């Protein structure tokens, strides 16, 4: 396992599952930390296998567990708990996103872990704040986005709609990774460990901070405007269909609402409608007036777009200094060589799935290069961790395996 990077030399005890926690530890692994993923013997973590294909690592597991080592341990068995306690003494960080109270039930409270390793960074990710009234409530990503403001501002005026991707899960995971790094930096300066706690609801509240501007201006929550601009009624600001008019054949076009912007006039030139320029057509003179007459504005744009696919439309518009974004899906990104060339899409070789292209790490550090490795085989590092790191003999490991402890 390559451990080169800014976090090289740090060891993480990874007791996470599904998405939020695993994104956190994968981020740390990509930055060079040695991540020891603790999984149930035989079954693995809950997100490893899908019901449709038991025994085969799911693609969801592949995409969130690269560059990690896997060890199996039954933490509910006394021998398993003893192994984890020995590992805690040799780790810099423990990360968990178990259900409320689960770590306490295992006996792995922060206080106990601190007794074992006074410098441990004990990182927890939960749905709700552990010191708040919702602490024991179950939560998944859509619960966090609904209770964290985001969905109140997303969708149609009469129908809130949740986001199609797991913003709360992955976003909170990355926020927890950032906080862990900060805690490690403080430990380097001051020599102390600490507890790090990030709740998905809290993260979503912070992520939705832009919603406070209209709330403070108007004294009431922001309105939902579908693909429009929530702060102000302006046009164009919408997602428009393109040829060949499939489910993802769209481009989003937005012209600045700021006075003096030439983007609308540029757009008029591109679509061959100089008669709609600001100083020619009174109805198109301002972003607000264009909104009030958006049937004319949108109609002209749609008429032009019917002859272009989303890639061509985006290229033409952006080269004319008009903000436009093609609606790109997973297939578009995966099949575009630019993303593979710059490491945003990476190809890994999985023993069960073969060659698979997956999203990589967005930040690029000039003095670091990530060697991407596929998600680990269940228990693939048991010998290395229990034998080499903890010093267990082959006979001792065989006995633990027979007892289904590892």
pLDDT at 1 > cutoff 60: no
Count of structural domains, the chain: 2
Among 291, 326, 361, give the residue marking a domain's end: 326
Identify whether residues 104 and 146 lie together within a single domain.
Answer: yes
Among 326, 353, 375, give the residue marking a domain's end: 326
Identify whether residues 15 and 49 lie together within a single domain.
Answer: yes
Among 326, 357, 378, give the residue marking a domain's end: 326
- Residue 212 belongs to a domain: no
Query: Which two tokens mark 263?
Result: 């983007």
Are 12 and 87 spatial neighbours (Cβ–Cβ below 8 Å)?
Answer: no
Identify whether residues 191 and 260 lie together within a single domain.
Answer: no
Query: 51 vs 58, which has greater pLDDT?
Result: 58
Are 368 and 380 spatial neighbours (Cβ–Cβ below 8 Å)?
Answer: no
Identify whether residues 17 and 152 lie together within a single domain.
Answer: yes
Nearest to 199 by CA among 148, 138, 145, 125: 125
- The H or E element that residue 81 is part of is helix 78-88
Domain range for 44: 11-207+337-402
Verdict on whether the full-model pTM lies above 0.85: yes
Identify the top-confidence range among 64-68, 212-216, 253-257, 364-368. Answer: 64-68
Average pLDDT over residues 283-295: 92
Give me the CATH number covering residue 194. 3.40.50.10540
Residues acting as catalytic residues: 169
CA of 112: how far to CAs of 88, 103, 196, in Å? Answer: 10, 11, 15
Q: Is 345 helix (H, G, I), strand (E, B) or coil?
A: strand
- Residue 391 belongs to a domain: yes
Find the helix packing angle between 263-270 and 310-319, rounded to 10°: 130
- Residue 198 belongs to a domain: yes
pLDDT at 4 > cutoff 80: no
Identify whether residues 163 and 309 lie together within a single domain.
Answer: no
What pLDDT is attached to residue 384?
Answer: 98
Identify whether residues 32 and 135 lie together within a single domain.
Answer: yes
Give me the CATH number covering residue 268. 3.30.1540.10
Identify whether residues 293 and 390 lie together within a single domain.
Answer: no
Using one digit for the tens of pLDDT, what is the confidence trace for 302-325?
Answer: 999 999 999 999 999 999 999 999
Separation between Cα atoms, residue 185 and residue 189, nearest integer Å: 7
Looking up tokens 């060890």 gives 71
What is the CB neighbour count within 10 angstroms for residue 266?
16
- Residue 105 belongs to a domain: yes
What pLDDT is attached to residue 116?
Answer: 98
- Residue 227 belongs to a domain: no
Using one digit for the tens of pLDDT, what is the confidence trace for 344-364?
Answer: 999 999 999 999 999 999 999
Query: 371 vs 231, which has greater pLDDT?
Result: 371
Q: What count of Cα atoms within 13 Å lies in the side-chain half-sphere of residue 221? A: 12
Query: 78 vs 213, which has greater pLDDT?
Result: 78
Identify whether residues 293 and 376 lie together within a single domain.
Answer: no
Identify whether residues 124 and 85 lie together within a single domain.
Answer: yes
* Residue 353 exposed, middle or buried by CB count within 10 Å (0-12, 13-18, 19+): middle
Using one digit for the tens of pLDDT, what is the confidence trace for 159-185?
Answer: 999 999 999 999 999 999 999 999 999
Identify whether residues 202 and 66 lie together within a single domain.
Answer: yes
Separation between Cα atoms, residue 131 and residue 334, nearest integer Å: 42
What pLDDT is attached to residue 3?
Answer: 43
Separation between Cα atoms, residue 34 and residue 25, nearest integer Å: 10
Looking up tokens 């003893």 gives 82
Band (403; pLDDT cuts 50, 70, 90): very high
Identify whether residues 169 and 283 lie together within a single domain.
Answer: no
Band (234; pLDDT cuts 50, 70, 90): confident
Average pLDDT over residues 246-275: 94
CA of 223: how far to CAs of 206, 228, 231, in Å? Answer: 19, 11, 9
């Amino acid at each position: 396992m390559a451990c080169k990077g800014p976090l090289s030399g740090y060891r993480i005890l990874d007791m996470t599952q599904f998405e939020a926690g695993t994104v956190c530890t994968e981020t740390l692994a990509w930055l060079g930390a040695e991540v020891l993923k603790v999984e149930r013997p035989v079954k693995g973590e809950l997100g490893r296998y899908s019901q449709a294909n038991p025994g085969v690592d799911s693609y969801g597991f592949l995409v969130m567990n690269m560059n990690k080592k896997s060890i199996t341990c039954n933490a509910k068995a006394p021998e398993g708990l003893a192994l984890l306690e020995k590992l805690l003494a040799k780790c810099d960080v423990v990360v968990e996103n178990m259900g409320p109270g689960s770590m306490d039930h295992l006996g792995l409270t922060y206080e106990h872990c601190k007794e074992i390793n006074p410098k441990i960074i004990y990182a927890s990710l939960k749905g709700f704040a552990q010191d708040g009234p919702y602490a024991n409530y179950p939560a998944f990503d859509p619960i966090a986005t609904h209770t964290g403001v985001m969905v109140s501002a997303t969708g149609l005026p009469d129908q809130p709609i949740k986001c199609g991707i797991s913003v709360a899960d992955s976003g909170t995971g990355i926020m927890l990774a950032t906080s862990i790094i900060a805690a490690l930096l403080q430990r380097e300066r001051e020599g102390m460990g600490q507890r790090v706690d990030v709740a998905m609801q809290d993260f979503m509240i912070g992520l939705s901070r832009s919603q406070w501007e209209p709330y403070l201006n108007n004294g009431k929550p922001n309105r939902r405007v579908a693909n429009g601009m929530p702060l102000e009624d302006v046009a164009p600001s919408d997602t428009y269909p393109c040829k060949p008019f499939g489910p993802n054949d769209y481009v989003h076009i937005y012209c600045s609402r700021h006075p003096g912007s030439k983007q609308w006039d540029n757009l008029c030139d591109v679509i061959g409608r100089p008669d709609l320029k600001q100083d020619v057509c009174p109805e198109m003179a301002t972003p607000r007036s264009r909104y009030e007459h958006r049937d004319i504005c949108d109609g002209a744009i749609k008429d032009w777009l019917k002859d272009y696919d989303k890639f061509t439309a985006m290229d033409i518009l952006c080269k004319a200094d008009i903000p436009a974004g093609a609606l790109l899906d997973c297939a578009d990104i995966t099949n575009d060589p630019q993303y593979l060339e710059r490491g945003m899409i990476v190809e890994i070789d999985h023993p069960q799935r073969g060659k698979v292209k997956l999203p990589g790490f967005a930040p690029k550090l000039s003095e670091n290069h990530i060697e991407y490795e596929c998600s680990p085989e269940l228990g693939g590092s048991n010998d290395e961790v229990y034998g080499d790191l903890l010093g267990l003999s082959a006979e001792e490991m065989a006995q633990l395996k027979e007892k289904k402890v590892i």
